Structures are given as C-alpha cells and as structure tokens.
Amino acid sequence: MSHAGVVQGSRVRVLIVLLFTIQLVSMGAMEMSGPFWPVHLRGLTASDSFFSFASVAVYVGPMLGIILTSAFWGRIGDRHGHKWMMIRALAGLALTQFALAFSNDIWQILVLRFLQGAFAGYIAPAQAYGVSIEAPSRRARLFAILQISTNVGSLLGAVVGGLILDFATFFWINIVAAVLCAVCTVVAAVVLPNVPPVIKAPPAANQAGTRSLWQDSPLLPLLAIMGVMLLARMLPQTSFSLYVSTLFEVSNSVVGLCYGLLALGFILSAAPWSRYFEKRGQQETLQRMVYVVVGCIALTSLAAITRNPVVFVGVYFVWGMLLGATTPVLMAVISRTVDASRQGYVLGVAQSTSQFASIAGIAVGGLLSQVYGLQYTYYFVAVAYGVALATIVALRHRPPLPMVSGAPRSE
C-alpha cells in the first residue's frame, strides 16, 4: 500500500510544490560550481596529466559515490522513513560544499566529491518520499515534476555560479551553495510531514519477495532500457562543443543555444508526457515507448547527416521534447513493479543505474570520438537507441509474470 492517504487533498499538492522547490534550489546549488571545476583545478596544479585526470575525476567521483550507496540508503529509508534520508542527503550536501570551499588540495577535493555522492544522494530519497505521499495514478507526473526541477536548477545554477565567479572567487560559489543546502535541510526537517515506513512482511516472505523482485518481474529489463537510453543521451557529451563548432563552424553562443534547447525541450514536454502515460499499464506504455525511441533514432540519424546548423538546432530541441517521455515515465513504471515497502531500495537501484549509464555514456562517447572521429558521433547515438528499441520489443513480447504483492498490474 501507499501512504498517500496519510496526507490528504490540497496539502499533497502543496508538498509536491515544496519538494519541487527544495530539489530545484539544492540541485541548482550543486550546479553553481559544476561548469567551473576545471577552471578552479587548473590553478591548483602545473601538471597537465594530473589536471586531465582530476578534471574527469571531479565529476565521476560523485557519480561513483551514488552508484555504491544509493541502494543502501534506499533500504534504510524503507525501514526508517524517507524524510530522514532527505534530511541526511541535504545535510551531506551542505557539509561537503562547506568543506570544499576551504579545500585547496586536489586530492582532498576529489575525496570530498566522492563523499558528496556517497553520503548525499538526494534525488532517490526525494522520489521515494514523493511516492509515499502521491497517489499511484499520478506517479509518472511526480517523477516528471522532480526531474524538471533538477533540469531547471541545473540551468539556473550554472548561470548564478558564473555571475558569482565574475565578481568573486570560487570560494564563494561553494559557500553560497552550502548555505542554500543548509536552508533546504531546515525547511525539509521543519515543514515536511514524517510518513512512517510501511510494515514489511515476515523475514521468510521478505526473502522470497527479494528473489522475485529480480527473477519474476520486469524490473531488470526496465532498468536496462532506462540505462541504455541514458547512455545514448550521454554519448555526445564530451565531444558536443567540438562537434558543433567544427562541423558547422558556428559561434560559441550557437553551441550554448543548442545545448540549452535540449534541456528546454525536456522541461516543456515532461509534464504533458507524464499525463499522457500515467493511466496506461506497463505493456501499453512500452508499446507507445517504441514510437518515442523510433523518433529518437530518426532525429539522431538526421543530426548525424545534416550539415545545416538550423536543422541541427531544431533537431536538438525536438529530441529534448522526446526525452521528456523517457526517464520520468520509465521511473514511474519501475516504481510500480514493487510495493510501498521497497520503494526506497528500488529507486536507489534505479538512481545507481542512471549514474552508471551516464558514466559509461561519457566514457564510451569520448573513446569512440577519438577512435573513429567526431563525424560519426550521432550515428553511434542512433545505434544505442536501436539497442534500447530491441530491448523494449523483447520485453513487450515476454510472457506476463505475476506482479509483486501490493504493486499494480501491468495490463
């Protein structure tokens, strides 16, 4: 069962808006420093090889921390309540950002960034808490709203961070971020109601449920689909600016416009897509997801072929519109494969999967661009989407399996 009945009526809408705001502010605070770590690290070492390593590790470190700990924190949240995991994560963000403000040693910075991912990891507990107060029929919309907040926060955070760096030092970016995360921690602790955890089944039944979670449910294929689609999205990440500026010979402003339009397309489309999918079962959702992925294949193939910058910019915006129908919708389907007592664990696993897929996409994309050249970048993206399409088709034709007790049926 869900705890949606614990919080009733219009108050749920207020709490969802509050979750949106907390996530927007906290993720925006983290992204204030995001684009500028290489600039900061460049001033801390004269070694080009060490700088190259550190400029990658400073981004990969938090992702590795999330991969290693998300499922663990999810289990703790399932046992003791997801509000406490949100508070733990926000406090972790505040403390690590504060420590980073005073760190001028690269190794110390890299360790703190890893710990930031390992002890913070805010997104998964926020999703699990949202699931505990929102009606199951609106779950897709919930994930869309929370992911929109992350995207808007990332865009605004980068702008604010740049403004701070224009007038002050990198120290103040981290201090401001720490203060914002601390404020979010206090707001979450004081304002959000505590939703008690769902009482679990006896140990023997619980062990059997854990086995069925992976053996007798579509969870693993769904995670694979989401992972491959995220990998496809991240393949052009490292080579994007070089690809656009080299092949189209355009200014940096056009490069930035292109990148921003992808996020804008996602922000505009995620909520409408979630409303479209929220009343559909698993099989019907996957059937319609096929058309979304086919659209992504067509768009990225066009991006690979075209040498017209206007067409490429348009492709990126429409691609962003289609991406709004991918991760939020798949997260809702993944969430519905288990009952309320294991939401934290499953969403933690999903968060680890997304981080691993992002790292793999960045690494594989960089390697492919070096080996085969920039001009083939989007052909590889189209191929990756083809793999996701094959996985969806295979899952659609898989014989129906019994759902875990307490989870809605997929038909």
pLDDT at residue number 32 = 87
* pLDDT for residue 405 is more than 50: no
313 token code pair: 């910019």
pLDDT at residue 200, rounded to an integer: 59
- pTM recorded for the entire structure: 0.79
7 pLDDT higher than 70? no
> Residue 226: pLDDT band by 50, 70, 90 thresholds?
very high
For residue 401, pLDDT beyond 70: no
> What pLDDT is stored for residue 365 in this prediction?
87
| 404 band by pLDDT with thresholds 50, 70 and 90 | very low
pLDDT of residue 202: 53
Mean pLDDT of 179-202: 84
* Cβ-based burial of 10 (10 A; exposed 0-12, middle 13-18, buried ≥19): exposed
Instruction: State the pLDDT at residue 100.
Output: 94
Least confident stretch, 61-65, 185-189, 286-290, 402-406? 402-406
pLDDT tens-digit profile of 114-152? 999 898 878 888 888 988 888 877 888 888 888 888 888
List of domains in the chain: 1-198 (1.20.1250.20), 200-397 (1.20.1250.20)
CB under 8 Å, gap of 24 or more: what pairs does 182-186 form? 182/90, 182/91, 182/94, 183/25, 184/22, 184/25, 184/26, 184/29, 184/90, 185/87, 185/90, 185/91, 185/94
Model confidence at 303: pLDDT above 90: yes
What's the pLDDT score for residue 5? 47
What confidence score (pLDDT) does residue 407 get?
41
Label residue 199 by pLDDT band (50, 70, 90): low
Q: What is the mean pLDDT of residues 232-241?
A: 85
As a whole number, mean pLDDT of residues 298-317 equals 94
Which H or E run includes 376?
Answer: none
Distance CA 338, CA 145 (A): 21
Residue 355 has pLDDT above 60, yes or no: yes
- pLDDT exceeds 90 at position 174: yes
Average model confidence (pLDDT) across the chain = 84
Average pLDDT value for residue range 56-69? 88
pLDDT range class, residue 211, cuts 50, 70, 90: low
pLDDT value at residue 90: 94
Collect all residues with Cβ–Cβ distance below 8 Å to 344 and sequence separation of at least 6. 73, 74, 75, 76, 77, 78, 82, 85, 124, 125, 128
Q: Mean pLDDT throughout 286-305?
A: 95
